[in-house]
Structure 1
Amino acid sequence: MTDSSLPDKGSSGVSRRGFMARTGFILGAAALSGHATAAHAASRTTATVIGGGEHVPVLVIGTGYGGSVAALRLARAGVHVHMVEMGMSWDTPGSDGKIFANTTSPDARSYWLRTKTKQPLSNFFGFPIDRSIPRYTGILDAEDFSGITVYQGRGVGGGSLVNGGMAVTPRRENFGAVLPTVNADEMYSTYYPRANAGLGVGTVDPAWFDSADCYQYARVGRKQAQRSGFPFVFVPDVYDWDYMEKEAAGTVPKSALAGEILYGNNYGKKSLQKTYLAQAAATGNVTISPLHKVTSVSPASAGGYTVVIDQLRTDGSTEATKTVTADKVFFAAGSVGTSKLLTEFKATGRLPGLNDEIGKGWGDNGNVMCGRANHLWDPTGAVQSSIPCGGIDNWAAGGAFAEVAPLPTGIETFASFYLSITKNPNRAQFSWNAATGKVDLNWQASWKQPSIDMAKTIFDKINAKEGTIYRTDLFGVYKIWGDHLTYHPLGGAVLDRATDNYGRLHGYSGLYVIDGSLIPGNTSVNPFVTITALAERNIEKIITADL
């Protein structure tokens, strides 16, 4: 992997108009065609760097779902937006000709500033599978807190780079518990449809699913769920399903069928660079600084906000520190990133007027993983699509929804694997630790037990019906449950508590939160569609009322 995705020194003097003219930023139509090669993919996303002393009308911290929505809608309203992203732009192929590393062959591109991988499945058939890697600003951050590891995407596109793309809208009857102060009628009539359209959500063709070798593992999961009386549902996704079928036919380069998921997807997935960010760039009003980390936001004497930003090298060291001013600042660094920034800024006096709800209401979306060992007559297939497309719905009876997830190892495992989302009631709080100069999270490992109990309402019954057992080799030695992690961090700057009911931070005009930290800990399903829809709702109000 080269360092060519690093901004060139001295390029901060390039004007926005000159930069846009020279690079021809992202073209959404080409990106969505599903036929791009790795070389062509490199031309889809480009970036610039912000210069010290610059003034911007709007600064968006983060390029994930909420930030991308804000950038697009503000840009279409005629507002110039600059986005800063701690991760890389991921637009330059490595030595293997691909931008992203394969799941089974992690390298420097795989992890954010680690010297050893930390895969969610740490063991396989009794052997540890983590390996040493060079320290690099890679795509997946496995951030360790007390009692939990939080997996987050690092790069332009945020979490959309590393998730399985399951684009699920919560059941209407569950929404009141997710966002109690938000009008459900508006969300389901306007903002969820808008989010799904913007994200490019689609569903697998059931007939093709029934015949595709790469979904044998999901068909086994469906059969076993239904035999135990559980509903199996097809789940929408943001993968290009036409491309997937061509992968299976062998007419295009393989991506999902090559096991690409944890560390990015080179071809078929419609991550944010191909959707919201592509459309934002096409306005000519959006620029992005990758490898830029915000370290301070405080009121400026002449109005607006002074923002201090470190420009990073790919080893994580600081290349330059810049101070810029912004009329308005949107915090979109993700649940953990935004919560950490606001917690620190309140405690250290940069934003002392933030209220006492900052840092509270954080949850793990009830995530827990497990695997089951199937009989020899129930093979799940050596080739498995890395994109899940179905799940087991026991939300009403047992408080759990379980993705039938892949184990894309390239060999037959005779195993079924699941990521469950449960109604875990426990909530943690971020706090500033002055002794270490870091933000802590007080999650306790024992708080995962409700999630395990809810997941067991599904899998104990399936095991009893099928005469099967849990796998004990995936998360350690004789450990059944993956209860040490979350892929779905939520909360920390909860809507209508830390902010008003549209994400405006209490105490500071022109400061907003527009990401998953607004959602108090649980969405009952994969959260990114809800994050996107809520951002669509909030930015519409902000543009109308504030701009």
Structure 2
Amino acid sequence: MEQHLSRRRLLGLTALSAAALAGGTTIGAPRALAADRADGTAFVPAVVIGTGYGAAVSALRLGEAGVRTVMLEMGQLWNQPGPDGNVFAGMLKPDKRSSWFKNRTEAPLGSFLWLDLANRDIDPYAGVLDRVNFDQMSVYVGRGVGGGSLVNGGMAVAPKRSYFEEVLPRVDSAEMYDRYFPRANSMLRVNHIDNGWFESTEWYKFARVSRDQAQKAGLGTVHVPNVYDFDHMRREAAGEAPRSALAGEVIYGNNHGKQSLDKTYLAAALGTGKVTIETLHQARTIRQQKDGTYLLTVEQRDADGRLLATKEISCRHLFLGAGSLGSTELLLRARETGTLPNLSSEIGAGWGPNGNIMTARANHVWNPTGANQSSIPALGIDDWDNPQNPVFAEIAPMPAGLETWVSLYLAITKNPERGTFAYDAATDRAALRWTRDQNTPAVNAAKSLFDRINRANTTMYRYDLFGKQVKAFSDDFTYHPLGGCVLGRATDDYGRVKGYKNLYVTDGSLIPGSIGVNPFVTITALAERNIERVIRQDVTAP
């Protein structure tokens, strides 16, 4: 099996390189969207919307089953170097490649000494990172072939089994932890940092400082596996490989070292010869035809946002993998405009930010965190078993290239509050109903943890890092949007959308608002479980 996958990955990587050289928007078989029907529409057996984790899993397994599949990706393929010789822009000097149609970048760490030093004015462009701003919550999402895998920190964490069972009680946890989590980790090429190197290198001094301070408060830490190649990172430090993690790259993409989906699942999917990716193609509407097939209206744009064409594509099996925001919006629009009127009232419900809270502490001058910091987190403070305030806190880097004496964290808390998406006809978009007050339980949990650390080390919070306001906790954004099409509520127990046959959700929309750790491994494993059942019963059944 591994030999077949390696060969498929190689074939897929070749297809990705060929697409970049050709300069087009089609990756894979060029006639996948040829007009097949008398009315001029293109027909394919399966369409997958999106190229993130759940979408990539579904496309690979459909391709392996011999099902001709087209993936629709609203972003672009990121493997063509820009004028500076790099595919992605750097974090400290971002340009238009960094952001999705913004006039100015919107980094999560918005200031230093209340000065906005991280952001830059840029030209609107189909960049790799989007910040979708709602009234009282913003959501970071990746744009491009590979979705969020292009812009996340790569922390490949499985949730505590007891919490997984609490969040998804209808899913067999034994099956997940024995079969699908290992499968996901293998396919994602998850690896672990060498402990000896971690303990000795200057690039993780910031993590060791936070670990020691947590231990003084009686808190434990855990090494966190990653999809960034730690062997490559060691060679970066030795001057034997081009720098990426050690050049401060992460939120706008890594030019080297990271095993993003375009190098793993998507490459293998393209290598089946059955999967095609259409980039800069955004699905706008879904309706069901009299024969039960689905008809999609799709807009094709260029990287500057100009509309090039509006297409209609029909398919028998439709998989929504556009993420918590994208998949939910498509279904809400279809329900409220009457193109799929039988969708469940549960569409749009059960959304949450995975309890994300960012905070920072000021260290004593005699306890520096290091001018050189890897951009890839490798350690977390694990206090999830705390019965009052469970928290898993990533020890985050702050790779500014100079000594800051700052310890930065992204805390993941157990916040029971949930938001709801509603369709706004005036804007034709999904609006999020969520208030800042709903993040109070998450802030309180994070504060409980870091108050303990501050007391034990006679340190204090930093109040200058999250914009012009004086605040210690940033509670107005999330990297981990979850829910909107919750498993067992809006769908059946395998992601089949209630009310319609051959319509599926395969992404983080299925998880009801919280999973307690970085969610992409759970999304991947759940997609592996679901697509296995769907292919067996719905797609290839006689």
| TM-score greater than 0.5 by the shorter chain | yes
CA distance in 2, matches of 1:180, 1:43: 47
Query: Does residue 1:91 correspond to 2:79, yes or no?
Result: yes
Q: Which residue of 2 aligns with 1:260?
A: 249
1:450 and 2:430 matched? no
Q: 1:495 aligns with which of 481, 487, 491?
A: 487
**How far is the alpha carbon of 1:247 from its aligned partner?**
0.4
Q: 1:128 aligns with which of 116, 120, 130?
A: 116
C-alpha displacement of 1:43: 7.0
Please give the per-residue CA displacement for 1:253-296, whole angstroms capped at 9, x wherever unaligned: 10000011000001101000111011111111111001000011
Give 1:91 shift. 1.8
Q: What's 1:173 paired with?
A: 162
C-alpha separation in 1, matches of 2:296 and 2:17: 36
- Say if 1:39 and 1:93, in contact at 8 Å, map to a contact too: no
Structure 2 distance, partners of 1:30, 1:437, is: 37
Structure-2 separation of matches of 1:115 and 1:155: 19
2:473 matches 1:473: no
Does the Cα contact within 8 Å between 1:101 and 1:264 map onto a contact in 2? Answer: yes
1:364-513 equivalences in 2 (<5 Å) = 364-397=353-386, 398-476=389-467, 477-513=469-505
Deviations 1:471-510, CA, capped at 9 Å, x for gaps: 1111023121111100000000000100000000111111
CA distance in 2, matches of 1:207, 1:68: 35
State the distance in 2 between where 1:29 and 1:347 align: 39
Using the TM superposition, give the Cα deviation of residue 447 of structure 1 relative to its aligned residue in structure 2, in angstroms: 1.1
Q: Distance in 2 between matches of 1:71 and 1:39?
A: 19
1:532 aligns to 2:524 (yes or no): yes
Q: What residue number does 1:47 align with?
A: 27
Q: Which residue of 1 aligns with 2:95?
A: 107
Which of the numbers 526, 531, 535 marks the counterpart of 1:543?
A: 535
Match of 2:67 among 79, 104, 118: 79
Structure 2: distance between partners of 1:39 and 1:438? 35
Whether contact under 8 Å (2:294, 2:315) holds in the other structure is yes
CA deviations on 1:367-402 (whole Å, 9 max, x unpaired) are: 000011101111111111110010001111121110
Q: Which runs of 5+ in 2 are unaligned?
A: 1-6, 36-40
Name the residue aligned to 1:27.
Answer: 10
1:12-38 per-residue CA deviation (whole Å, 9 max, x = no partner) reads xxxxxxxxxxxx99627979xxxxxx9
SS of the equivalent of 1:124 reads coil
SS in 1 for 2:138: strand
Aligned 8 A contact 1:343 1:358 in 2: yes
The superposition leaves residues 88-129 of structure 1 with CA deviations (integer Å, 9 ceiling, x where unpaired) of 111211001110111111110011011111110111122113
Q: Tell me the distance in 1 between the aligned counterparts of 2:11 and 2:380.
A: 30
Match of 2:4 in 1: none
Task: Could you tell me which runs of 5 or more consecutive residues in structure 1 were left unpaired when the two chains were aligned.
Answer: 1-23, 32-37
Matched, 1:198 2:187: yes
Q: How far apart in 1 are the matches of 2:306 and 2:168? A: 39
Q: Does the aligned pair in 1 maintain the 2:12–2:269 contact within 8 Å? A: no
Distance 1:505 1:29, change over 3 A: closer
1:248 corresponds to which residue? 237
Q: Deviations over 1:418-456 (max 9, x none)?
A: 000000111011111123332211010111111111111
User: Equivalents in 2 of 1:40, 1:262: separation in Å?
Assistant: 26
Please tell me the residue identity of whatever aligns with 1:147.
Q
| Residues 279 and 29 (structure 1), Cα distance of their counterparts in 2 relative to 1, 3 Å cut | closer
Give, in whole Å, the separation in 1 of the partners of 2:48 and 2:13. 26
Structure 1 pair 360/81, CA: closer, same or farther in 2 (3 Å)? same
Q: Secondary structure at the match of 2:360?
A: strand
Q: Following TM superposition, by how much is the alpha carbon of 1:302 offset from its aligned partner in structure 2, in angstroms? A: 3.3
Matched residue of 1:377: which SS? coil
- Opposite residue 27 of structure 2, the aligned amino acid is A
The alpha-carbon deviation at position 86 of structure 1 amounts to: 0.6
For the structure 1 residues 25 and 132, does the alpha-carbon distance in structure 2 shift closer, same or farther, using more than 3 Å as the test? farther
Q: What is the CA RMSD across the aligned residues, in angstroms?
A: 2.0
Alignment partner, residue 259 of structure 2: 270
Partner-residue secondary structure (3-state), 2:251:
coil
1:4 maps to none
Output the CA distance in 2 between the equivalents of 1:193 and 1:317. 43
Query: Could you tell which deviates more after superposition, 351-360 or 49-58?
Result: 49-58
What does residue 520 of structure 1 align with? 512
Off by >6 Å, runs of 4+ in structure 1: 28-31, 38-41, 43-46
Distance 2:159 2:423 in 1: 33
Partner letter of residue 49 of structure 2?
I
Residue 457 of structure 1 and its aligned partner are, at CA, apart by 2.0
Residues 26 and 273, structure 1, Cα contact 8 Å, conserved in 2: no
Distance 1:241 1:120 in 2: 25
- 1:289–1:25 CA distance, 2 compared to 1 (3 A): farther
TM-score between the two structures when normalised by the length of structure 2: 0.93
Distance 2:507 2:537 in 1: 19
Asked if the contact 1:46/1:89 (under 8 Å) is kept, the reply is no
User: Identity over aligned residues, as a percent?
Assistant: 52
**2:201 paired residue number:** 212
1:225 matched to 2:214? yes
| Change in 2 beyond 3 A, CA 1:115/1:233 | same
Evaluate the alpha carbon distance shift between residue 29 and residue 432 of structure 1 in structure 2; reply closer, same or farther with a 3 A threshold. closer
Q: What secondary structure sits across from 1:109 in the alignment? A: helix
TM-score w.r.t. the length of structure 1 is: 0.92
Q: Is the 8 A contact 2:19 2:27 kept in 1?
A: no
Aligned to 1:300: 289
C-alpha separation in 2, matches of 1:377 and 1:160: 37
Q: How does 1:181-192 map to 2 (within 5 A)?
A: 181-192=170-181
Structure 2 distance, partners of 1:284, 1:472, is 53
